[in-house]
Amino acid sequence: MKKLAQIVLWSLIVVSTIWAFFLYRPESPPPDKTVVTFAIWGGVAERHAWEELIADFEKRHPDILVKLQLIPLKYQEKILALLAADIAPDVFTVQIADMVPKGVLRPIDDFLAKDPNFNPDDFVPGVLELGKWEGKTYNIPSALGPLVLFYNVRHFREAGLKTPNEYAAEGKWNWDTFVHCCKVLTKRDASGHVTRWGYRMYGEWIMWLYVTINGGQPFRSNFRVAQLTEPRTVEGLQRAADLALVHHVAPGVSPEELAGMSPAWQDFKRGKVSMMHCGPWMVARLRGMEDPYDVAPPPTEPGGRSTFSASAITGIWAKSPHPEAAYKWLSYMWSEPARIIWSRLGFDIPMLKRLIEHKELWMDPDLAPPHFDVFFDVAQQVLKKPPSVMPIIPTEANNYLTKDVWQMIRMGQKTAAEALAEAQPKVQRILDETFANQP
């Protein structure tokens, strides 16, 4: 009976998905309105934020209606299905290495050239390059999400430790100091059961941070040649895995993580974890946290720096029937009014110089951690040439590395050296096949 119920449930999900994406046709818009469809991933919090942005945009552009298609699960698969059916949204987010070389998105250089509101000097140096592919511009990144360390201030004080920011000011915030803090902060009861972890990993993609802070270079600068067995890459991942396997200061792979979810931030908010790495979007989620927390740079080895994702790009569908209206919505997203709304809600930090200089326009002092400027300091380091970004590689290769290979290392099934040596030829094959016809 239970199996039958599951079959019925999944059948309903499949039917409703097909109806929503292929059969449903909304009411025709008023004759004086242009409808721009916009797809993005996210949950309830993101929906509220996007709806606020859309409301402001429509006030400024009363001739355009934006229809939000928020996709919480299997976003990539659904976008691919819409593209195959030739009914893709006017504006949507894709992985650069998967879609842009196939001509899925429309370059916007012609729009930028005649846009009186676009001035390259308004943006933080290095940002504009992240929206380009092979010299053509597809988007202007609207926000920055550098990865930093979140830490529980009370835990550090009670343990008699200096804070990560104090260690950083002394030039001593490296991996060894970080591991020492993890050991001191991890607590066990009389039976040896862990009651508080010194650290917990946030998401499988965080593996790239462990590589970059160790100075690793797993790919050449154009991301078309894999060099996964490069010593610092191997060392960075093994060090991170050893937090659980050797030092026992972080939990192993949990069932939630195997299912694609991370309980790290909930445990951090409840005081069950002392440290985690994440980006500025976490500030909104930690609203109401009982213990005081702060942010600091990640522990970094010589030659290393933090990272953020630049692999996804939001652009205009090459077959959009309304490219001009779509550009207005796209360009609104990186405008100052939109960035103020978005950043006030606690999602990411703006990439406009003026907003960085005038944080009072958007930053809630009651919500921001004391060392909030660490986000900007780390972002400036990340954007230095060459920018330190998560690998811009095909989704197949990225998923294989972050899910299969990284989990194998974390669970101790293979060492980082063994797993990466085995992965090297497969990843290179994917890169060669993907970019076979690219210059």
pLDDT in tens, 314-327: 999 999 999 999 99
Phi, psi for 114 (deg, rounded to 5): -110, 10
Residue 342: name the closest of 314, 377, 378 by CA.
314
Min mean pLDDT across 180-189, 245-254, 280-289 is at 280-289
Token look-up 């213990």 returns 291
Tell me if 435 sits within 8 A of 101, measured CB to CB.
yes
Average pLDDT over residues 91-117: 92
Tell me if the bond preceding 386 is cis, omega within 30° of 0. yes
pTM exceeding 0.95:
no
* SS3 state at 305: coil
Average pLDDT over residues 160-181: 98
**DSSP class of residue 363?**
-
The structural domains of the chain, ordered by start, are: 27-144+310-378 (3.40.190.10), 148-307+393-434 (3.40.190.10)
Q: In whole angstroms, what separates CA 391 from the centre of its chain? A: 12
Residue 338: name the closest of 66, 50, 8 by CA.
50
pLDDT beyond 70 at 266: yes
Cβ-based burial of 171 (10 A; exposed 0-12, middle 13-18, buried ≥19)? exposed
